[in-house]
Amino acid sequence: MKEQPLSPAGQSALNSRSNMEPSAFWATCKAVAWAGFGAVASFLAPHWMFILTMLCCLLLDMYTGIQAAKAREERIRGDKKLRTFHKGFTYICWCLLLQLVEQVFQVPDAVDLSSYMFLILTLKELKSISRNAKQYTGIDVYAKIEKLLPDLEKVLSVFKKKSD
């Protein structure tokens, strides 16, 4: 079977693609990646303080988890450390999703869904930090926080698994 010749437009596209220098190709890829990063950063920029707080809570949770495991004389496993980064990525995805919901459904400025979500997630992480710290220090910080906010368990029950 004989090949059909390319149209002038197809030949032009093929020539321009094959003649593209590798450095120009990678420069284009880099520009697209930076544009994507900029779009995500612009969504997250209003919540940079919450993100910083959440990052600190995640790292503190990982540290206290390691200390609690040492107190229980357990082996420190890498998959638990990886879980910390997975949780952080999940929290960022939640923030992006709620930002999109706010934009699409034009939620009033008085209702900031992603800020509420970050507050709830931060409280959830503080509970985990307190649970871990109690295992190696014996001090239950979360019980003291719970006395200040009596309805805290009701708010956090949204994130409980069915098996809990």
Tell me the per-residue pLDDT of 87-135, one tens digit each, with 9 for 90 and over: 888 888 888 888 888 888 887 776 777 778 888 888 888 888 888 888 8
At residue 158, what is the residue type?
Answer: V
91 token code pair: 């929290």
Query: Is there a domain that residue 23 lies in?
Result: no
Q: What is the pLDDT of residue 164?
A: 47
What H or E segment, with its residue span, contains residue 111?
none
Contact present, 135 and 71 (Cβ < 8 Å): yes
Domain enclosing residue 155, as ranges:
46-159
Contact present, 136 and 71 (Cβ < 8 Å): yes
Query: Is there a domain that residue 37 lies in?
Result: no
Query: Is there a domain that residue 31 lies in?
Result: no
Number of structural domains the chain divides into: 1
CA 129 vs. chain centroid, Å, equals: 18
